[in-house]
Structure 1
């Protein structure tokens, strides 16, 4: 009897198609795929074809990251621009998944676009937690990592935070002189997230918490499981659609880059996971003004610099209602990731954000 794995579960033996190219955790993904396609054999077939194609596809070389300008522990501040006498612009990604979504490829890089537009642009790479950092919470990431790197800059910066990075830049701006603050799809008021989603995330955390506490960190697979649970049908449909993309096309390369990003990244510290799931999702500490950093209450309404909140009308992860209230508001009809790397990102986010940065000294 042939016991070799079926092609849908394996990758070809080539250097850039290793077995790690696959949704993580793969057993859960396959369970979702089987469940979501039980009444649609054609969808199931195309989803498996898309999965196999994803696993086997050749990846273009990723953009070469610039050298670090500053560091704090394993966190690094990467410089994409050059000193132009204006305010440095620091882009702060979420702690969840790598920072590469902001520098995804040569044609889909917000950081390289901002550098080409003349901004002295920087990107925070949080790196992997060090041994002994298991108790470092979200406040600690601001106080012990982000602030020291920002204070190495030649002049007060403009801070731009994406997703959970938006929460962290609000915390940093409350703690140091800042020229301006912009957030993109930042989850600030967790009462704006549907109750069913919050309950689902809470159940996931309660099941994973004992293991995470023993480990001292929250594996990326725990977080990915929560994202999939919010919209399992979409998770399967996008792989089915990927089966039809042209090999070597920009569309194929974009899917590979986004999915590799979404399925990669180091774990969260246990302290950051505890804050995210219990202080933010469960207790809405940020939205209710109860989140503190080094004893100081963090409230975006109390920031004295210019502020901008960019939200999405099509975001399941961070609905528009969950975004922070800032002096200026913009709502885009783009998804949580599409607004950063999608085909319309340059027109609707990168360009307008660049103009806003210029108006405020960046």
Structure 2
């Protein structure tokens, strides 16, 4: 990819490699401790971001934040001052972060549907009152399914794909080619390694992948911007593998077959249909998202279009104004629990 994108510019290639070396050598500091576990089902855990030492029901309305199965969940708690979860707690809510955990080969037959039925729905059922669900990326797709199958107080989607035919034909073809090449090895392993998924993301926007390392080469390594870049790249380049069946369903049935957009996804014996939602729901859609294009959104009646990108809407400089505050206002306006 580097050779292709910098074929006419050896200077750009050297600049990108300089940025890559700087990223690899950057100081990380001490790893932050994960928030405490409140509930567990199988390998999945709900991490508690509510007030400490005030009991498990303290901290206001329960809000369950559901990340994608791809990449670790800590993008939602990237740093003490860049954390949607900690900010929501400061607004008086009681946030929980779903940590999907790391599957082993024994989980090879657990597809995306099974993650909702066997992990997410049982965790939701542990709450005394129906929680609000906030789903990011594929986590939003899964949250929508859960909201169709169980009582919840509200559903907020953030950059969540639903109509996979909204991805460009080129993107879907590239991803299909990648999966054809990787599938035999993944099948033998029973897992889809993160490296396979990351290669797919790179193909969506290779020019930007190279350009960001070129830009990092010119950054002061001690600057706040450089530290944030390193934290974001560590997140983007990390993550547990997917069970083989989850990868197979995502690549073949979701991206390849548009199962969700065609109304053919069934969870808990029910057809997952955005029109059947009985709870208040909102859809935050990025108009500049290169990973989950706006055309793939579920397009709920309450849709808010944002100018920030897929990751920027969560952790960018404008995230608080564009997403965090409108999201908190929407949760506050939800009907009180009965």
- Taking structure 1 as the reference length, the TM-score comes to 0.89
- CA distance in 1: counterparts of 2:161 and 2:219, whole angstroms: 33
Pick aligned residue for 1:54 from 11, 23, 40: 23
Q: Tell me which residue corresponds to 1:45.
A: 14
Q: Would you say the 8 A contact 1:73–1:130 is kept in 2?
A: no
Aligned partner of 1:35 in structure 2 is 4
Q: How far has the Cα of 1:244 moved from its partner? A: 1.1
8 Å Cα contact 1:62-1:104 kept in structure 2: no
Q: For residues 105 and 217 of structure 1, what CA distance do their matches in structure 2 show? A: 30
1:74: Cα distance to partner? Answer: 1.1
Question: What residue is the counterpart of 2:147 in the other structure?
Answer: 173
Matched, 1:228 2:202: yes
Number of the residue aligned with 1:97 = 71
Structure 1 position 78 matched with structure 2 position 47: yes
Residue 339 (1) aligns with residue 308 (2): no
Aligned to 1:262: 236
What is the distance in 2 between the residues matched to 1:130 and 1:155?
Answer: 33
CA drift at 1:325:
2.1
Q: Find the counterpart in structure 2 of residue 249 from structure 1.
A: 223
Counterpart of 1:15 in structure 2 is: none
Q: Note if contact 2:46-2:98 (Cα within 8 Å) is conserved in structure 1.
A: yes
Taking the TM superposition and a 5 Å limit, the aligned residue runs for 1:57-206 are 57-82=26-51, 83-84=57-58, 86-206=60-180
**Contact between 1:189 and 1:286, CA under 8 Å: does it hold in 2?**
yes
Native 8 Å contact 1:103 1:112 kept in 2: yes
| CA deviation string 1:131-181 (max 9, x = no partner) | 421100111001111111111122101000000000110111111111100
For structure 2, the residue ranges without an aligned partner over 5 or more in a row are 52-56
Q: Helix, strand or coil: the match of 2:303? A: strand
Kindly state the Cα deviation for residue 34 of structure 1 after the two structures are TM-superposed.
2.4
| Residue pair 1:86, 1:361 contacting (<8 A) in 2 also | no
Match of 1:308 in 2: 282
Alpha-carbon distance in structure 2 between the residues aligned to 1:61 and 1:324: 40
Query: SS of 2:149's equivalent?
Result: coil
Structure 2 residue 188 is matched with structure 1 residue 214: yes
The answer to whether the 8 Å contact 2:155/2:282 transfers is yes
Q: Higher mean Cα deviation, 155-164 or 144-153? A: 144-153
Deviations 1:88-145 (A, max 9, x none): 1100000000001001111111111111111110100001014421100111001111
Report the CA distance between 1:84 and its aligned residue: 4.5
If the length of structure 2 is used for normalisation, what is the TM-score? 0.95
Unaligned runs of 5+ in 1: 1-31
Q: Deviation digits for residues 191-238 of structure 1, max 9, x if unmatched?
A: 111111011111111111111111111111111111101111110110
Deviates more, 1:289-298 or 1:89-98: 289-298
Contact 1:63-1:106 at 8 Å conserved across structures: no
Question: How far 1:62 sits from its partner (Å)?
Answer: 4.3
